[in-house]
Amino acid sequence: MFDPAGFSEFSYEGYSFDSTGETFRAFYSLLGQAGSIEFVETIRLPNGNQGRPAGVPSARTARLLALASGLSYYKAAAPGTVRVGFGLTDGEHTFLSELIRNGLGEFAFRNQLPGALTPQITGKRLDEVPDEITGAVGGGAAGGGSGARGGGEAGGAVAAAPAAPLVPVGGGKDSVVTIESLKAAGFDPVLFSVNTFAPITRCARVSGQPLVSAQRSIDPALLEANRQGAHNGHVPVTAVVSLIALMAAERLGLGPVVMSNERSAEYGNLSWNGHTINHQWSKSIHFEALLRSALESSGGAASGGTGADAYFSLLRPLSELEIARRFAGLPAYFEAFTSCNRSFRIDESKRASSWCRECPKCQFVFLVLAPFLSSGRLTEIFGGNMLDDPANLDGYLEILGLRGHKPFECVGEYDEALVALALLGRDPGWVQARLVGPLTDEMHAKGQTPAPGLDAALLEPSATHFIPRPFREALDALG
């Protein structure tokens, strides 16, 4: 059996590229009275794109990716000490500390491990590790510093002009709105995914844009530790995807990396031990600012953006409700997209082919699309009318904030759900759905009727964002 209490230290040992820059590996270990367990994370990057030469990504991006990927292994025991065996800038040290404290909030809450959020982090500054600054590109390990598998600095970003924006795609409505907004503004984006899933390839096919993919492989030793009793739970996967995308952009001479994270991601699920627990923290503007700051402190990243502007979210000013309104005007994607997490399960035998119509993600997306599509059309898309199914009542009460807490899923804020419900209550095409009446009655009984003008406010873009000036026209292209 795996006993988390038998480990007192988690170590970031180092990272490496192969000689071509195609394969990145990060090395970790757990140490303590129980002995030691070593882990290797492997990421295979896209190999060339539309005639662009492929190169070796920068060590600054490699360090950040190694830090973010390591949380999957740290959480197995969540020991009180974290040692980093390669040098970090001050910004990278802050990045790791904040990533643990905020990105593992849900994990710590579910496992009742408050100490997991504040380990002691030890290691050297980057300027104290000379070989990382002057090391050579090649097949040896990079970024080892004092780590056991260390070596030298990897090569710089690949130069390419003009660079196309790289858009991570998840197969849902948000990235579709980003793709079509960029196209409408005259950009020619390249789409990106980590591993491949049917909804992603379907949406890419509809878009007509090229899709490149990276492959992320978790060490089987971690999966075995999980089976043997290791701590397990949610990690900030968007942070990992973001950094793999930045690394792919450097390798292919693309960029900036344009995310599709909305302003609704700011709102947490609950408060616990002085922490706001937010399932979507790595989609929040807090994380976006943190990563941009780390990129700036490390000297920039990606050929298509310099420093912080190598990474931003185009949809940051928009609510989920406004994104749903814009997506409703893109019918070519209706049969292609899905936001249901069951379509992305690691075990292919357990994947849903489309919408499960049971989970909070399905419930929320159905609700926010409903004000902008007819009952018949939305029922066709989902394979059933979720607001006509009494089995969804409890889930909708949580999504509306009328019971329990916001589900641990990527769903929007309570106000958006309440406004959507209020709009349906005034729509003759929706008011007869079996759940609309009871949910509306409960909303009124709890005093949660949306204030006048709230619907208009939620559909109005916010001025808080990091969108670089050349891309601001794209924000309004589908407005």
Task: Give me the residue label for tokens 């609704």.
Answer: 264
Split at pLDDT 50, 70, 90, the class of 55 is: confident
Q: How far apart are CA 300 and CA 305, in angstroms?
A: 8
Kindly report which listed range (12-26, 293-307, 418-432) carries the lowest average pLDDT score: 293-307
Rounded Cα distance between 204 and 426, Å, is 36
Q: How far apart are the first and last CA of the chain?
A: 55
In angstroms, the CA 461 to CA 121 distance is 39
What token pair was written down for 398?
């949580």
Distance CA 316, CA 467 (A): 8
Record the tokens describing residue 56, joined without a space.
């070796």
In this predicted structure, the answer to whether residue 346 has a pLDDT above a threshold of 80 is no
- Judge if the upstream peptide bond of residue 256 is cis by omega within 30 degrees of 0: yes
> Dihedral of CA 304/336/315/45: which sign?
negative
Task: Give, in degrees to the nearest 5, the angle at Cα 284 between 216 and 41.
Answer: 15
Q: What is the pLDDT of residue 347?
A: 52
CA distances from 465 to 289, 309, 462 (A): 9, 12, 8
Region 99-126 average pLDDT: 97
> What is the average pLDDT across 272-287?
94
Residue 190 pLDDT exceeds 60: yes
* Residue 192 predicted with pLDDT over 50: yes
Rounded-to-integer distance, Cα 346 and Cα 439, Å: 35
pLDDT on residue 307: 76
- Which DSSP category does 42 fall into? E
The one-letter amino acid code at 348 reads E
Per cent of the chain over pLDDT 70 is: 87
pLDDT at 68 over 50: yes
> Tell me, what's the pLDDT at 52?
57
3-state secondary structure of 82: strand
Of the candidate ranges 127-141, 200-214, 328-342, 387-401, the one whose mean pLDDT is the lowest: 127-141
How is residue 236 annotated by DSSP? -
pLDDT of 301 over the 50 cut? no
Indicate whether 160 pLDDT > 90: no
State how far the Cα of 17 lies from the Cα of 389, in Å rounded to an integer.
Answer: 51
pLDDT of 418 > 70? The answer is: yes
User: For 266, phi and psi rounded to 5 degrees?
Assistant: -70, -25
- Between 344 and 183, name the one with better pLDDT: 183
Quick: pLDDT tens for 444-457: 999 999 999 999 99
What is the pLDDT, as a whole number, of residue 352? Answer: 52
CB of 262 within 8 A of CB of 27?
no
pTM over 0.85: yes
Lowest mean pLDDT among 162-166, 189-193, 427-431: 162-166
CA distance 85 to 244: 21
User: How far from chain centre, in Å, is Cα 236?
Assistant: 7
pLDDT, tens only, 426-445:
999 999 999 999 999 999 99
Residues 6+ apart with CB under 8 A from 112: none
Q: What percent of the chain stands above pLDDT 90?
A: 79
Query: How confident is residue 304, by pLDDT bands cut at 50, 70 and 90?
Result: low
Per-residue tokens: 413: 């804020």
> What is the rounded CA–CA span in Å between residue 453 and residue 397?
23
Place 134 in a pLDDT band, splitting at 50, 70 and 90. very low
What is the C-alpha to C-alpha distance for residues 437 and 432, in angstroms, rounded to an integer?
8
Lowest mean pLDDT among 34-43, 104-113, 122-131, 359-368: 122-131
Per the listing, tokens 């990243």 go with 301
How many Cβ atoms from other residues are within 10 Å of residue 210's Cβ? 14
Provide the pLDDT for residue 159. Answer: 36
Judged against a pLDDT cut of 50, whether residue 358 lies above it is answered with yes
Is 137 a residue whose pLDDT tops 50?
Answer: no
Amino acid (one-letter) located at 266: E
Closest CA relative to residue 477, chosen from 210, 205, 179, 175: 179
For residues 207-228, average pLDDT: 97
Answer for the pair 2, 128: CB distance below 8 angstroms, yes or no: no
pLDDT of 327 > 70? The answer is: yes
Residue reference for tokens 């790791």: 96
Identify the helix (H) or strand (E) that includes residue 160. Answer: none
pLDDT in tens, 233-268: 999 999 999 999 999 999 999 989 999 999 999 888
Q: Write out pLDDT tens, residues 147-159.
A: 333 333 333 333 3
Q: Is the pLDDT of residue 276 over 50?
A: yes
3-state secondary structure of 312: strand
Give the mean model confidence (pLDDT) for residues 110-137: 80
